Amino acid sequence: MKRAVAASLALALVAAGACFHKTKPPGFTTQETFGPYLQSVSGTGATVCWRTSVASDSLVEYGTTPQLGQRALSGQASEKHEIALSGLVPGTAYFYRATSRDANGQIVFQKSGGPFSTAISRADGLAGKKFTFLAMGENHNHSLVSNFSSVVAASGASFVVDAADQVDAGSDLGDWRTYFDAGKSFYHALPLYMCFSNHNYSDDAGWGYFDIVANPGPTEQWYTFEWGHVQFFAIDSTYNKGGNEQKIRDEELPWLERELARATDGVDDPVFTVAFYHHPTMSSGPRSRWMDRVWGENVLLPILEKYGVDLVLYAHDKFYERSVRNGVPYIQIATGKLAPTIENKNPYSVKLITTQRTILVVDVEGRKMAYRAVNEQGTVLDSGEVRR
């Protein structure tokens, strides 16, 4: 369930009680302080998240200038803080400050964030307004992503897509702190869209992950969102890692096909569609060997290609590879620690980078979506484009 708190332009409001945990959740054995970070940023809304090591309230002051001026408050004591702002203006920069006070009124957390941009409108995207997003993966709570701070800053990106694994252990709050701390120079200002992965699944059925994210619906495990004239699909590719595999798949694939059909039915369609998930459906490494390749080729890829998805992003194997199948670029991202193992070069492989970490920078402008894989020094190692 998405644990969102409605906010308004009014001075303050109180969160729904079900949204918060008074004590640390059962999946977490430590107490940590990190954030703020941004989830589910749309044209008119944004969710500001952070953690504190003590139970405390949640205040977000925000506005279109550094003077802020608007407030959203949850008075409920929690170590988890998740405040949803609403009534925002599309394509607009917002500043904010997140504050928590303990039961004695002492400030235990206060950090400024942003400015971040709300999603530009479909109309502005169609009219040629440019935006940029980043894709990363395999961070595994290494601090290595901090090496990309200057690349991220120079990119002018509006948001980040993370194809996971974000952390080694999804139930370890310390791993999540490391993950967010590594990107603390930009996560406060770049909305983060994550997908589910094996390192979220392995511990406690993803409990920790779902306590960290505030993804859009219909579930937080798979979802879709739009930015301008691009529609994104976050897919859970972990379905056959556990006993309830059929349940997950049976729910997810009809949803995916329905949403892709809607996105391409000729009525109010986006120009581009981008799918991301964790397990590579094409890779020259070992990690696409069993569940991923078989499941992908037989189940997922036919759906994606039937509806003409323009770009597919994933991770899991710890190196960069761009494969092209039926004209669609499938890009495997490795932003964190590299562990390249090449078994057999996959038949769709076009570009392989095994010795450098990369982040993918994607510029969208009108009918062109141009991507480039950039190393920590800002050198472009691979590039391409999709036109519609």
Sequence-distant (6+) residues with CB within 8 A of 250 are none
Among 57, 165, 175, 292, binds Fe ion (CB under 5 A): 165
Residue pair 167/199 in contact by the 8 Å Cβ criterion: yes
Among 16-24, 39-47, 87-95, 165-173, the segment contacting Fe ion (CB under 5 A): 165-173
Among 17-25, 117-125, 162-170, 176-184, the segment contacting Fe ion (CB under 5 A): 162-170
Residue pair 217/208 in contact by the 8 Å Cβ criterion: no
**Spatial distance between the Cα atoms of 207 and 212, rounded to a whole number of angstroms:** 9
Among 103-111, 190-198, 249-257, 299-307, the segment contacting Fe ion (CB under 5 A): 190-198
Residue pair 288/300 in contact by the 8 Å Cβ criterion: no
Among 76, 171, 198, 288, binds Fe ion (CB under 5 A): 198
Measured from the CB of residue 366, what is the shortest distance to Fe ion in angstroms? Answer: 35
Q: Which is nearer to Fe ion, 58 or 166 (CB)?
A: 166
Measured from the CB of residue 306, what is the shortest distance to Fe ion in angstroms? Answer: 26
316 near Fe ion, rule: CB under 5 A: yes
Q: Which is nearer to Fe ion, 224 or 335 (CB)?
A: 335
**Spatial distance between the Cα atoms of 314 and 326, rounded to a whole number of angstroms:** 17
Among 147-155, 195-203, 223-231, 261-269, the segment contacting Fe ion (CB under 5 A): 195-203
Measured from the CB of residue 19, what is the shortest distance to Fe ion in angstroms? Answer: 29
Among positive and negative, which fits the CA dihedral 144, 182, 161, 380?
negative
Measured from the CB of residue 238, what is the shortest distance to Fe ion in angstroms? Answer: 9
Phi and psi, residue 374, nearest 5°: -120, 135
**Spatial distance between the Cα atoms of 119 and 93, rounded to a whole number of angstroms:** 10
Measured from the CB of residue 279, what is the shortest distance to Fe ion in angstroms? Answer: 7
Burial of 104 (0-12, 13-18, 19+ CB in 10 A): exposed
Measured from the CB of residue 172, what is the shortest distance to Fe ion in angstroms? Answer: 15
Residue pair 236/220 in contact by the 8 Å Cβ criterion: no
Sequence-distant (6+) residues with CB within 8 A of 78 are 20, 21, 22, 55, 56, 57, 58
Question: b/e string for 42-77 if b means 16 or more Cβ within 10 A?
Answer: bbebbbbbbbbbebbbbbbbbbeeeebebbbbbebb
Q: Which is nearer to Fe ion, 198 or 288 (CB)?
A: 198
Among 38-46, 192-200, 295-303, 342-350, the segment contacting Fe ion (CB under 5 A): 192-200
2 near Fe ion, rule: CB under 5 A: no
Q: Please give the size of the binding site for Fe ion, defined by CB under 5 A.
A: 3
Length, in residues, of the chain: 388
**Spatial distance between the Cα atoms of 74 and 111, rounded to a whole number of angstroms:** 17
Measured from the CB of residue 165, what is the shortest distance to Fe ion in angstroms? Answer: 4
Among 10-18, 21-29, 309-317, 322-330, the segment contacting Fe ion (CB under 5 A): 309-317
Q: Which is nearer to Fe ion, 165 or 259 (CB)?
A: 165
Q: Which is nearer to Fe ion, 72 or 212 (CB)?
A: 212
Measured from the CB of residue 170, what is the shortest distance to Fe ion in angstroms? Answer: 11
Q: Give the alpha-carbon dihedral of 295, 296, 299, 305, to 10 degrees.
A: -170
Q: Which is nearer to Fe ion, 163 or 369 (CB)?
A: 163
293 near Fe ion, rule: CB under 5 A: no
Pull the structure tokens for residue 182.
């590594």
Q: Which is nearer to Fe ion, 82 or 165 (CB)?
A: 165
Residues that bind Fe ion (CB under 5 A): 165, 198, 316
